[in-house]
Structure 1
Amino acid sequence: MIYVNGVQFLPDSSSIEGSDIVIALLEHPDLVSASRSFCAIPERNFSVSDQAKCVYVFQREYATVDPAHVEIVGTDEATTCVGIIIRNCKSGMSSIAHLDSPDIVDIGISQMLSLLVTDSDDEDTMLDVHIVGAFDDSVPQGQGDHDVGAKSYSKKKSYSFPLCIKIVEILAERNVKFQIQNFQVLKLNTRYDSEGNAYPIFHGLLMETSSGSVVPSSFDTSTRCPDEIIRRIRLGASYEDPTLTGRLLDTYETDNDRIVIAPFSWSMREVEIALMMRHRSDIEILVTTSTSPSAEGPDFVVNQKRVWEYLIQHPDWKEAFPSNVPRVFERTTTENWMITSQK
């Protein structure tokens, strides 16, 4: 069930198509006002100098955190993806995910809820939801304007709109009270340059777990950790692993406050692709690997090349997972992680 400002949104939504729910949410006065307020907040660039206990998730990852252990959760690098945070207002427990496809939303939301809703919660327990990302990619570049009509979403190819549809459909059908606080997606998360090219206003979000306060954010390389390259490689490998179909990637152990990367493999085919792509031009790399080539952040190509270089230097996945045991990271300080030998 979806709520906005304490009121159930479209009580008979079971008979309404997901696309219509998205459009109605985009036009809801309270969410439009919330979007204006969100846009007025300066984007926070999170770095190690913040000295806060943070859990960051990459694309297709999720993590559920206890505010007793973690001060900050966040994600960025979203263009046609969605960063979503769900917080139990009663316990303060929060789950964050970076959703990149409608195919992972159903099971993914279940994964996020598994530690958020407990037997001690009653039927009045409200879960706050913050959704940021998925700019309007339905309008061809160079033809954008500031007033995208509702019907235009369904008429043009888009990665963002189907993802948003699936998210609201799942939230609407679950017997849980989801109160949407931020719906910063599609036209509410799109800006245009003088030539009509569309770009995301924000690529990420950050939550302070103790208060539930959410702000637009970006993260530098030092805070997209630990094990950044291995986790980026894991994303590509996950598409070929049938056991991960429809699922978000486990990243974080809530009770132990540690990052655990289960063993996975990469094939020589991926190494061969890396050898082929490493010398391509930036434009070729963007067109080949991105759903939104003109809207990616400045470090997108750099990060792709870093992944390929690692694969070339380490073609055997067993180098990363000797004895086939997980890579486990525990905190040494508020901002640093240390790898341990085994789980």
Structure 2
Amino acid sequence: MIYVDGVPFSSKSASSSQGGDTVLALLENPILASASASFNGISVHNYSVSQETESRTPSQQKCVYVFQREYATVDPALVDFVGTDEATTCVALVIRNRRSGMTSVAHMDSPKVVDIGLKQMLTLLVDKDSHDELDVHLVGGFDDASNQKNISGKKRGTIAKPDGYSFPLCAKIILSLQQNRRSFNILTFHVLGNNTRCNADGHPVPIFHGLLVDTSSGSVMAATFDRSTRCPDELIRRIRVSASFEDPRWKGKLLDTYHTQTDRFNIAPCSWSNHLLHIASSVMNLSDSEILLSCSTSPFAESPDFVDNERRLFNYLLHSPDWKDTFPMNQSRVYKRNSDGGWIRC
């Protein structure tokens, strides 16, 4: 069930619209509209290793970063911040247990991962029979439907949609929250129209691409991360996102890489198929603009390093065509904290 300002929230025709009517009603809710306006007024936090180390002592400022299609549930006793970015048509979903401070962040990229993904997020957030209050924040997605008629490109494994990608994803998230027996207090609904501006060329783009959660207070701020803080194992985790589309074990699921109780990353082995290697070879021959059109759901809205990240990913695949070289003896890649709060491989 969904609550806004402590009051149950519903839309008369929500069941028939598969969550769409409720999304529209939430966008028009004056309390959430005011919260979104306030969110717009907060400066974007640029999270980087150099910036954080200047003002912290060892073992402080411990952060967990979540990539696309990943989720992480963190304990405030072990982790100071958890966040994600690089979201255009994706949505960052935050669920926090108000009593314990346990916080789960997911980078949702498709309606297909929402139902099971929500169950994954709740597993360590609440006890089976508890009635803990759960605070919810949604940031990401934008009014991308008008862009779809202007592009012929597609993201791997998807096709351009006349109603866009962001709205169906938001609708599915809201429907899943509505149908769950838990009580979800929506505090931030900075999605779709609330998260849209026009760029210099007149194309609608997201205002914010990511967020950072302070696990001790529960406060949420807009954020960006640099390559040094999208860790650990940035490139391999990007590859796992691509490989997961062809792996039936991850069908309908979010990628699980972070171990809550030990504060470690455990990146399970994944294989890449000949089909993915063929895609890699094809993409490396494309121009930057062609990569944007063929690899993104929102080529007008991607960050400046999108193409470079795609090239690094596919270049790695071409130089390491056998996945067993990356995961020798089919073993996970495990990372633990170092004395500065960063990550070292075990």
- Identify whether the pair has TM-score above 0.5, normalized to the shorter chain: yes
- More displaced, 2-11 or 85-94? 2-11
Question: Structure 2 stretches of 5 or more lacking a match?
Answer: 54-60, 151-160
Q: 2:98 aligns with which of 89, 99, 118?
A: 89
TM-aligned CA deviation for residue 102 of structure 1: 0.3
RMSD: 1.8
Letter in 1 for 2:83: G
* Mapped pair 1:38 → 2:39: yes
| Corresponding residue for residue 161 of structure 1 | 167
TM-score, L = length of structure 2 = 0.91
- More displaced, 290-299 or 326-335? 326-335
* Mapped pair 1:184 → 2:156: no
Letter in 1 for 2:9: F
TM-aligned CA deviation for residue 269 of structure 1: 2.7
Identity, in percent, stands at 56
TM-aligned CA deviation for residue 138 of structure 1: 1.3
- Deviation digits for residues 32-85 of structure 1 (CA, Å, limit 9, x no counterpart): 000000000000000113141000010000010000000000000000000111
Q: Distance in 2 between matches of 1:210 and 1:339?
A: 27
Q: 2:52 aligns with which of 50, 53, 56?
A: 50
| Corresponding residue for residue 127 of structure 1 | 134
Q: 2:82 aligns with which of 73, 78, 88?
A: 73
| Corresponding residue for residue 110 of structure 1 | 119
* Mapped pair 1:299 → 2:300: no
TM-aligned CA deviation for residue 141 of structure 1: 7.7
Check the 8 A contact 1:135/1:189 in 2, yes or no: yes
TM-aligned CA deviation for residue 156 of structure 1: 4.1
| Corresponding residue for residue 19 of structure 1 | 20
The total of aligned residue pairs comes to: 327
Check the 8 A contact 1:137/1:159 in 2, yes or no: yes
Check the 8 A contact 1:13/1:172 in 2, yes or no: no
SS of the equivalent of 2:145 reads coil
Check the 8 A contact 2:11/2:22 in 1, yes or no: no
Check the 8 A contact 1:2/1:177 in 2, yes or no: yes
Check the 8 A contact 1:142/1:195 in 2, yes or no: no
* Mapped pair 1:8 → 2:8: yes
Letter in 2 for 1:325: Q
TM-score, L = length of structure 1 = 0.92
TM-aligned CA deviation for residue 142 of structure 1: 11
| Corresponding residue for residue 29 of structure 1 | 30
SS of the equivalent of 1:74 reads strand
Check the 8 A contact 1:141/1:198 in 2, yes or no: no
Q: Distance in 1 between matches of 2:340 and 2:209?
A: 25
| Corresponding residue for residue 138 of structure 1 | 145
Question: Structure 1 stretches of 5 or more lacking a match?
Answer: 144-154
Letter in 2 for 1:280: L
